[in-house]
């Protein structure tokens, strides 16, 4: 073929083939352990907690206390919890460590479980209103109906002649 190289590739190295001379370093070993599929059983909650530093344990404890209190208060107001612990933690700490949040949610679910069927969602999806639409809804609710005006004028002893100067 014209313009194509006819070089033979005997070493089977291509773009998608790993090179056989890759050196391992502690950093690459760490990434490999993080990204490779685990071949064992998932860690228990106790094992996850034992692997945390004291600072991380303090974070788990304080987040668990606050999230539990928030969940109880919200459930008291709405009659039922409106979300799971993991959803609550994500809304309370949107930029928090997701690994720690999952541990906190697991701690809370273990200590004071919320059954999925007990959750009563406040919204199936959040309403999206702009400011003008909300203002118009409010103004529309303030407008009196014709019956309101007739009842008011009758109660006040007014008639059309007094109102319109006829």
Q: How many domains, the chain?
A: 2
> Hey, is 23 helix, strand or coil?
coil
pLDDT at 129: 63
Is 139 within the bounds of a domain? yes
**For the residues 5-22, what does the mean pLDDT come to?**
53
Q: Structural domain of residue 72, as residue ranges?
A: 45-118
pLDDT at 149: 80
Is 15 within the bounds of a domain? no
pLDDT at 27: 85
Are 69 and 109 contained in the same domain? yes
* Predicted TM-score of the model (pTM): 0.52
Cα 48 from Cα 58, distance rounded (Å): 14
Are 142 and 109 contained in the same domain? no
Per-residue pLDDT band for 60 (boundaries 50, 70, 90) equals very high
Residue whose C-alpha is closest to residue 120's, from 163, 154, 87: 87
Are 80 and 135 contained in the same domain? no
């Amino acid at each position: 073929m014209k313009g194509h190289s006819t070089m033979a590739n005997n070493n089977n190295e291509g773009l998608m083939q790993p090179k056989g001379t890759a050196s391992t370093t502690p950093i690459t070993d760490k990434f490999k352990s993080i990204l490779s599929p685990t071949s064992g059983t998932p860690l228990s909650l106790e094992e996850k907690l034992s692997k945390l530093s004291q600072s991380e344990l303090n974070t788990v404890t304080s987040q668990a206390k606050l999230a539990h209190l928030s969940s109880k208060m919200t459930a008291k107001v709405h009659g039922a919890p409106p979300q799971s612990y993991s959803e609550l933690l994500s809304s309370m700490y949107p930029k928090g460590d997701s690994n720690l949040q999952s541990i906190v949610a697991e701690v809370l679910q273990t200590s004071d479980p919320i059954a999925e069927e007990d959750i009563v969602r406040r919204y199936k999806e959040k309403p999206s209103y702009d400011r003008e639409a909300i203002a118009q809804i409010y103004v529309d609710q303030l407008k009196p109906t014709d019956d309101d005006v007739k009842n008011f004028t009758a109660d006040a002893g007014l008639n059309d002649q007094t109102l319109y100067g006829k």
